[in-house]
Amino acid sequence: MSPPQLIDRLRGHFERHSDALDKPLGTERELAQMLGVSRSAVRIALAQLEEEGVIWRRQGKGTFLAPAGISFAPSLERLSSRTNFFEVMEARLYLEPILVQLAAMRATSEQVAMIERTAQRTTNHPPGTTDREVVLWDGAFHRSIAEAAGNRLLLDIFELVETIRRDESWVVYRAKGRTSETAAIAARQHLQISAAIASRSGAAGANLMREHIRSLQRRLAGAMEHELETSE
């Protein structure tokens, strides 16, 4: 049993005892015997669940469920495994138009120049450019906008979404859905968004970003549907 599987098994076991906040959930030895794993593996998994705020442990007293109100945010690995393509694109659809509006209001001349440079770079990929490099340059354009928005909390949220989006499986689907035509459309949209920010047209830029993400959403959904059809 892999560590993530063990953690999920323990989490499910604890959730089935959600009415036992004041009762010990079993010793490491008991849990190890129940799951057929070593005590050291259980100890590591419990440490992860304690870090997430699912449980709390006291030496000599045992392991207890934590009240729901003190649970911490899940780790990036856990969050990435819990979300999916549609949720990430939905989050981007709400987040990035706001970042464009803020960037149009707050970007310095240097930041505007950076947005313009990265937009230009996404329009022309030299021969031999890998799919990973295409994704990185695309991410650099969107990140330059997030930085120019001047809100550190929104930038952190953007970085979280971007990290999930850089997962290898996403890169594969993006490559499958990319054609010379769709690449040209995305490049043109980048330039239009960049121009809107440079001219301080926040509302127009937000609309352009919204359409850009929707077009990406349609393209990636189409690539996924095509793969499902061909695999049947």
Residue pair 209/103 in contact (Cβ under 8 Å)? The answer is: no
pLDDT tens across 144-196, in order? 999 999 999 999 999 888 887 776 666 666 666 667 788 888 889 999 999 99
Does residue 72 have a pLDDT over 50?
no
Of these ranges, 42-46, 80-84, 146-150, 173-177, the one predicted with the greatest mean pLDDT is 146-150
Instruction: Let me know the angle formed at the C-alpha of 186 by 183 and 191, rounded to the nearest 5 degrees.
Output: 125
pLDDT of residue 70: 45
Does residue 51 have a pLDDT over 90?
no
Instruction: Tell me the average pLDDT across 202-211.
Output: 97
Q: Show the domains of the chain with their CATH numbers.
A: 3-70 (1.10.10.10), 83-231 (1.20.120.530)
Distance of alpha carbon 203 from alpha carbon 185, whole angstroms: 21
Please report where in the chains the tokens 């990185």 appear, as a residue: 136
Which has more confidence, 182 or 114?
A: 114
